[in-house]
Amino acid sequence: MIRVESATVAFAQGGGEDRVVLKGLSLEVPRGQTVSIIGSNGAGKSTLLNAIAGTVPLVSGSIVVDGRDCTRDPEWARAAYLGRVRQNPLAGTAGDMTILDNLALASRKGRRRLRLAVTPSIARDLAGRVAELGMGLENRLRENVSKLSGGQRQALTLLMAVLSRPSVLLLDEHTAALDPANADLVSALTKRFIAEYGLTALIVTHDMKRALDQAGRVVMMHEGRIVADVEGAEKERMGVPDLVDLFRQARGSDYAEDRDLLR
């Protein structure tokens, strides 16, 4: 379960005026729910995930994961119960280390101990997990991750993110940098892992069709706010054109507000 309460994020800009990217945004996601987050560029989708992960600080508001307030915790401390995959396939893995070492690194969270990271039994277990990707990586465990293709590397990153069963999985356009075939593959894996591990997930995407397919709930953001939030039967009835309409409406009303403010 994750609760974001009136989160405000602002970035300093040259010239004194701060750019406010999240404007008192609130969002509650119950355990086991998958939420797609859509919206135009600059809507604040990635900033929302970064704020939850602790990459950017909140100006005000709070973030509560599974009942514990982590608003002030540094990024690494939150990572102990958050899983995260970014757009860049190079971001989540250590390229100059082997697939096995990367998996061993991710198989448990928090403080490292002074004991062997890869024993034969751990290696067998991790080989079994990586075989689930269906990419034959279980036969390449001693190869460096930098030798993998973008799709393979992102699939591995995804596996590493779910391996420790995080309280919340944050996916920030994690298929956007991949070719269509690999994007489909990683999307299918995402859906499977979320179901298999019973995860709570927030998925930022630009792909409206995927947003509807992969999640039981769709949240639309615009200019730092949530402008639409559909789930259940309402979401099931929607198609891509309905989402686009909703998007236009949201933007239109926003412009109307702006005009009201100016008057």
Partner 1 sequence: MIQGILVEGLVYGILALGVFISFRILDFADLSVEGSFPAGAAAAAAIVTAAARAEGGAAWFAAAAPFLAVAAGFAAGGLAGFATSLVHHKLKVPPLLAGIVTMTGFYSINLRVLGGRPNLPLIKNNPLLDGARSWLGALAPPDLALLAAALLSALAVAGILDLFFHTEKGIAMGALGDNEASVIQVGVNPASLRTLGIVLANGLAGLSGALAAAYQGFADVNFGAGVVAAGLASVMLGELAIKSHYIGVQIFRVLFGSILFRGLMYAARSWGYLAGITPNDLRLLTALLIVGAVAVSKYAIKRTKPSRRGGKA
Q: Site residues (CB under 8 A) for partner 1?
A: 74-77, 79-81, 84, 90-97, 101-102, 104-106, 108-118, 144, 146, 160-161, 164
Min CB(86)–partner 1 separation in Å: 8
Contact 25, 6 (CB under 8 A): yes
Nearer to partner 1, 77 or 188 (CB): 77
Kindly list the strands in the beta sheet with 2-11, ordered across the sheet, starting from the edge strand earlier in the chain.
Answer: 19-29, 2-11, 60-65, 68-69
Q: Which is nearer to partner 1, 105 or 238 (CB)?
A: 105
Closer to partner 1 by CB, 109 or 225: give it. 109
Per-position b or e across 117-130, b if 16+ CB within 10 A of its CB: ebeeeebeebbebb
Q: Please report how close the Cβ of residue 122 comes to partner 1 at its closest, in angstroms.
A: 10
Rounded to a whole number of angstroms, the minimum distance from the CB of residue 239 to partner 1 is 36
Among residues 109 and 140, whose Cβ is nearest to partner 1?
A: 109
Could you give the CA distance from residue 159 to residue 196 in angstroms, rounded to a whole number?
A: 12
C-alpha 191 chain-centroid distance: 13
Nearer to partner 1, 12 or 114 (CB): 114
Residue 156 CB neighbours (<10 A): 23
Considering the complex, state which of residue 114 and residue 262 has its C-beta at the smaller distance from partner 1: 114
Neighbours of 227 (CB within 10 A): 18
Q: How far is the CB of 230 from partner 1 (least distance, A)?
A: 31
For residue 139, the 8-state DSSP code is G
CB of 55 to partner 1, least distance (A): 9
Which is closer to partner 1, CB of 158 or CB of 227?
158
CA distance linking residue 249 with residue 181, whole number of Å = 33
The amino acid sitting at 4 is V
| Phi, psi dihedrals of residue 194, rounded to the nearest 5° | -60, -40
Rounded to a whole number of angstroms, the minimum distance from the CB of residue 88 to partner 1 is: 10
**What's the min distance (Å) between Cβ of 111 and partner 1?**
7
Q: Residue 98 has what DSSP assignment? A: B
19 DSSP β-pair partners: 11
Both tokens assigned to 89? 């396939």
